[in-house]
Structure 1
Amino acid sequence: MKRMILAMAVAGLYAFNTTSAFATGLIVIPATGFSESAYTLCNTTGNFGSSVSATPTTTTNNTCAVFPVNEAISPVAGYTLIASINRNAVIGGITVGTLSDRVWRNTAQTSCIFGARFTALNADSDAGTAGTQYFEVNDIARGGFGSASVNAGYFVQASSALPVYRIGRTFTSVQHRAYGLGSPINSLPGANYLALPTIGGALTLSINGETTSVWPASTTAAKQSAAVNANWVDFTLESVYSDNEGSGSSLVSSMVYVEAACDSSNVSGWVKSGAIRLRQTGQEGESLVEISIDGYAPPGAVLP
């Protein structure tokens, strides 16, 4: 990964809001999104992974966070694990990571929780470029939820995992860059970058962001929007095998959850092509890359 250190004083910029939150549990993600954005904020520390993030606890920085005993246990009482499989994340024939794909179902067999967690591997995702290009997951998107309201959240179990920064009812992952790379300017958002993207753009746009890196980072309003798409839920986070930007180790992502209606049918028939998308959104100037992976989706789900 190409790294740049911007050695300059920065004045007149507003730091990202780091106010602690106090609201554990899965949260409602309406089919219509939120009042001014397809997204809602979860953990507001760490400038979306560009600087050091605060791990959620039961008392601080815990909006959207849940605390099961471990990742095999449902984040909501009354659910039993009915499916668990590891799927490879592949770029150009190179496996850059694995995705744990899980489903829990309630006793009444009317509701399920779909879980996903990425683990990065020591692999060069672009052998044609000098150096080692580690694939960095900035968003995990999951589809197949139709127009119903769903609940969503995350769990940090692995010591290396970073929190989820926001969750959106959208197919689009929106780039977020720090003003520059290296402390202290990595704790400041780039010019015009929004914590909550505005509503707009195409329903089927996978990544919205700048395709070139210029520091100090800046963008435009058109690159900071995401259309509400009820069929998808997007989690903004960070996971990469090796990272030196100042955010700390993030080899394993948080486990992310979507709770949605299901039925008593056999879960083996719920696998849909492209139901899970891993996005590298160019947070530190990398290329914009999407990996499409088969995944469990609610029975009867329709995916493009």
Structure 2
Amino acid sequence: MNQLAIKSAVLAALGIITAPAMATGLVSIPTTGFTVSASTAQPSGGISAYTLCNRTGNYGPWYGSNNSTPPSSTANNTCAVFPANTLTAPENGFTLGLYNVRDMVVNNSYTSGSSITIGSVIDYIWRNSTTSMCIFGTRFSMRNTDWNKTVAGMQTFEINDFARNGLPNSTVTAGYYLTSNSDEVLFRIGRTFTSVQHRVGIDLDLDPTDVAEGYYDQPLSYLGASTAAINGVEAVVDYPPDVPTTLQQSALINTEWIDFSTDVNYLDDDGASMKDSSLLYVKMPCSAVPTTPTGSYRFRQTGQMEEPWVEIIMPGFKP
């Protein structure tokens, strides 16, 4: 058994894992999505699969130093929680039951057919046996590894979105814990299978929240909206980026999936390198023993800058 898991089991048995200090808390992620008011970017408004969390950092800047701001007890803390440590559940009444570490491996035409380990994935499951609820936690860490053999120089992999399967057909709650200075914040959470590309605008130096033309913070869901794994403009572009169509900035609600948008890269071209994700949580009903089917986890590089679209499919915990 992993030493961290042994330590956690001992602490839990002795009852000395302390209760977390809560702030905003996990937020509700309903099956019906979120209402988006009409704005300059989205004149019609509508329903989005996504809700906003930490808006600082603008989903990762474009060749700038627009670092995100860590959440605190008083600011930038939507979706954020503050447990005592990574082993402590973000809510009271939950006991750590499972802990697991897996390698993240990519093998495709960009790696010339070789299997290259680009990072690791850490999973946690806390369970409340009284309520039969679980909190699933996942954190990933990227390595300083050249994965794209079709391009000269060092190309480190970037994860812009993490999607996980297995949600019930009911409202769940979700959020994140920024564990250290090497963690990136969580920008948004979506009840969808689709990871929508996001890019910043040309006035980034003057306005850190500036969004490129045609890009939405909360992509809309409607009949005919995208059901693709990655949606956006798949092209190597100059700055400012190409303008997407409305369809290319859409994501159909999918109640079986949850998508977390972040910007994790060991050595990011945008100058804001965060090699680790925050610890990402989703709370939902569960059985005592989860399954780990292949395809439950999807890690996606969505071309937030000029990277190719790549999806890494892995097994992962689900109820």
Please give the per-residue CA displacement for 1:109-161, whole angstroms capped at 9, x wherever unaligned.
60001111110011112112111111101011111113121100000012111
- Counterparts of residues 1-304 of structure 1 (less than 5 Å): 24-35=24-35, 36-50=47-61, 51-92=66-107, 93-108=115-130, 110-180=132-202, 183=205, 188-200=210-222, 201=224, 204-212=227-235, 213-217=237-241, 218-246=243-271, 248-264=272-288, 266-267=289-290, 270-298=291-319
SS in 1 for 2:277: coil
Task: Quote the Cα distance in structure 1 between the aligned partners of 2:203 and 2:117.
Answer: 28
Partner of 1:4: none
User: 1:257 and 1:236 mapped to 2: Cα distance?
Assistant: 13
TM-score, length basis structure 1: 0.85
* Structure 1 runs, 4 residues or longer, greater than 6 Å off: none
Q: Give SS of 1:47's match.
A: coil
Q: Identity of counterpart residues, as a percentage?
A: 44
Instruction: Kindly tell me the number of residue pairs found equivalent between the two proteins.
Output: 272
Q: CA offsets, 1:33-54, max 9 Å, x none?
A: 2232000001111111212211
Specify the code of the residue in structure 2 equivalent to 1:29: I
Alpha-carbon distance between aligned partners in 2 of 1:159 and 1:118, rounded to the nearest angstrom: 14
Q: Residues 186, 96 of structure 1: CA spacing in aligned structure 2 closer, same or farther, 3 A cutoff?
A: farther
Pair 25,185 (structure 1): closer, same or farther in 2 beyond 3 Å: closer
- In structure 1, stretches of 5+ residues that fail to align are 1-22, 299-304
Moved more, 210-219 or 54-63: 210-219
Distance in 1 (alpha carbons) for counterparts of 2:155 and 2:209: 23
CA root-mean-square deviation: 1.8
Q: CA deviation at 1:179?
A: 2.5
Amino acid at match of 2:287: D
SS at match of 1:199: coil
Cα distance between partner residues in 2 of 1:31 and 1:282: 28
Whole-angstrom CA distance in 2 between matches of 1:203 and 1:219 = 13
Residue segments in structure 2 that go unaligned for 5+ positions in a row: 1-22, 36-46, 108-114
**Contact preservation (8 Å) 2:175, 2:282:** yes
Counterpart residue type for residue 210 of structure 1: V
TM-score for both structures, normalised by structure 2: 0.81
Residue by residue over 1:51-92, the C-alpha shift from the partner in whole angstroms, topping out at 9 and shown as x without a partner, is 221110011000000000111110111111111111111111
Separation of aligned partners in 1, 2:209 and 2:153: 26
